[in-house]
Amino acid sequence: MEEHRLKQIYEQYFDTVYRVCFLYMKNQSDAQDMTQETFCRLLSSRFVFETEERTKAWLVVTASNCCKSQLKKWWFKKRVEYDDGLWGKQAVQENRDVYDAVMSLTAKYSIPTYLYYYEGYSTGEIAKMLDINQSTIQTRLSKARELLKMELSQGEE
Dump pLDDT digits (tens) for 73-115. 765 555 545 444 444 433 444 467 787 788 888 889 988 998 8
The pLDDT mean for the chain works out to: 82
Cβ atoms within 10 A of the Cβ of 71, count? 15
Report residue 133's pLDDT band, with 50, 70 and 90 as the boundaries: very high
Q: Residue 83 has what pLDDT? A: 44
- CATH 1.10.10.10 range(s) for the chain read 92-157
The CATH number of domain 92-157, selected from 1.10.10.10, 3.30.70.1450, 3.90.550.10, 1.20.1600.10: 1.10.10.10
Which region among 63-67, 76-80, 119-123 has the lowest average model confidence (pLDDT)?
Answer: 76-80
Q: What is the pLDDT of residue 1?
A: 57
Q: Which CATH class is domain 1-82?
A: mainly alpha
